[in-house]
Amino acid sequence: MSALASEHNQREPDRSVQPRAGKAAFPRSARLLRHADFERVYERGKRHFSASMTVFYWPRTEADRREAKSPALSGLRVGFTVGRALGGAVQRNRMKRRLREAVRLSLPSSPVSADVVINPKKSLLSTDFAALLNEVRRAFVVIEQKLGQRADPELPKKNDASVR
């Protein structure tokens, strides 16, 4: 090896990807993977809108858990959909990586069992990561509040005749 080649190798930064260990990983049990699960969330779920994304969510019931092929744990399962209209493969993959990391950093360990699908908007690519992280955290807080109210039997329902 020539001296020039060895100098070039020493100046090159280490760009290898180091795997995350332990709690830092985004576990498979926290991901939404099946097409049927995505469809259920879109058809029956509620929406939360923010500047960079739309978040769909639906509480998992016992019937949903029984029909699942893999045992669903309690907590949130998150999936991402990024359509071709949002850009080429490079841009779409970058959106998914940014969202995945934001979800990994802000995934709550709540008692609420729900499926969540995040649809980014084109503005996600130009949004600062700290702002994106804040949007994802806010979406999870809203989901916990909305689904927590539904599970609480002492709270009056909107359609309850006794509440006026």
- Identity of the highest mean pLDDT range in 31-35, 72-76, 160-164: 31-35
**Cα angle for residues 31, 33, 77 (degrees, 5° grid):** 30
Which tens digit of pLDDT belongs to each residue from 113-162?
Answer: 899 999 999 999 999 999 999 999 999 999 999 988 765 444 444 444 44
- State which H helix or E strand residue 59 sits in: strand 53-59
Which tens digit of pLDDT belongs to each residue from 36-69?
Answer: 999 999 999 999 999 999 999 999 876 655 555 5
Domain spans in the chain, listed from the N-terminal domain onward: 28-149
What's the pTM value of the predicted model, to 2 decimals?
0.72
Which tens digit of pLDDT belongs to each residue from 97-106?
Answer: 999 999 999 8
Q: How many helices (H) and strands (E) does the chain have?
A: 5, 4
* pLDDT on residue 99: 94
- Classify domain 28-149 at the CATH topology level: Ribosomal Protein S5; domain 2 (3.30.230)
